[in-house]
C-alpha cells in the first residue's frame, strides 16, 4: 500500500498485521479519485475516513491537498499503525484519530472545521450486504446526513453483490462504479431530496481488479 499522488506520492504505508483486509489497489484508488475530483471537494477539503484501517484513503486525500481528515477506526492494532502512518507522512497537525465504533458514531464533526465535504465509508463486507434503510449500513448513512455538509459526497465501498438503495434520507446515489469484485456508490447530500433524480447513473463496469 502506498500514497499514489500529491505531496507524498510514492510513500509506502505500514501494512496491517494479522487482520483480514481488502486493500484497495493503486489503480482502483486512482480511478476513484479521478471520479471524485470533478466534485471539487478534495483540495482544502474537510474529509472523514470511516472504517479507516491504516488510513489509505484519508492519507491519499491529505497528500492531494485536503485541509483536515478525521479517521474513525475501532481496532486497536489498526489505530496504532494508522497513527504511525500519519506521523510518517507528516500529517499529524491535519489529522484527528477517533477510536470508536463507526456504526454508532459515524463521522463525528470536528467543531473547528464543521461538517464534512467528503466521507469515505469502507465497512467490513459481511456487514454491508444488507443495504436496507434499517440495516446497520442504512442507519450509518442516515447518521451521516447530519454530519455531511450540503452538497457533500459520501463514497461507500462494498462487495459487488451489495446494491445500495437510491437514497438514504437526504443522501442520494449519483454514481455507481464497479471494479472487479468491489463496488463503490457515490452519494451526495441534497438540500431537496425530490430534486436531481436524473443525476443517478447506472452501474458502470470496469476491468481493474479489486
Average pLDDT for 55-82: 96
pLDDT of residue 70: 98
pLDDT in tens, 169-205: 999 999 999 988 889 999 999 975 433 343 334 444 4
Residue ranges of the domains in the chain?
Answer: 42-195
Residue 20 has pLDDT above 90, yes or no: no
Q: Does pLDDT of 29 surpass 60?
A: yes
Which CATH class, in words, describes the domain spanning 42-195? alpha beta
5: CB partners within 8 A, 6+ apart = 30, 33, 60, 63, 64
Pull the grid cell for residue 90: 507528516
Q: How high is the pLDDT of residue 207?
A: 42
pTM: predicted TM-score of the whole model, two decimal places: 0.88
Looking at residue 16, its pLDDT comes to 79
Residues contacting residue 96 through CB under 8 Å, at least 6 positions apart: 68, 69, 70, 71, 110
Amino acid at each position: 500500500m502506498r500514497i499514489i499522488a500529491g505531496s507524498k506520492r510514492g510513500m509506502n504505508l505500514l501494512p496491517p498485521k494479522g487482520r483480514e483486509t481488502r486493500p484497495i489497489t493503486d489503480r482502483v484508488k486512482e480511478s476513484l479519485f479521478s471520479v471524485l475530483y470533478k466534485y471539487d471537494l478534495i483540495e482544502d477539503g474537510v474529509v472523514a475516513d470511516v472504517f479507516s484501517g491504516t488510513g489509505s484513503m484519508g492519507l491519499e486525500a491529505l497528500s492531494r491537498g485536503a485541509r483536515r481528515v478525521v479517521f474513525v477506526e475501532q481496532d486497536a492494532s489498526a489505530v496504532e499503525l494508522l497513527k504511525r502512518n500519519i506521523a510518517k507522512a507528516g500529517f499529524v497537525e491535519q489529522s484527528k484519530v477517533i477510536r470508536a465504533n463507526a456504526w454508532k458514531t459515524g463521522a463525528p464533526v470536528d467543531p473547528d472545521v464543521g461538517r464534512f465535504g467528503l466521507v469515505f465509508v469502507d465497512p467490513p463486507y459481511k456487514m454491508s450486504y444488507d443495504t436496507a434503510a434499517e440495516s446497520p449500513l442504512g442507519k450509518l448513512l442516515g447518521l451521516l446526513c447530519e454530519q455531511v455538509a450540503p452538497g457533500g459526497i459520501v463514497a461507500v465501498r462494498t462487495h459487488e453483490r451489495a446494491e445500495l438503495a437510491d437514497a438514504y434520507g437526504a443522501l442520494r446515489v449519483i454514481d455507481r462504479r464497479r471494479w472487479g469484485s468491489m463496488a463503490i456508490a457515490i452519494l451526495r447530500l441534497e438540500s431537496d431530496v425530490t430534486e436531481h433524480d436524473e443525476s443517478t447513473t447506472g452501474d458502470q463496469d470496469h476491468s481493474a481488479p479489486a
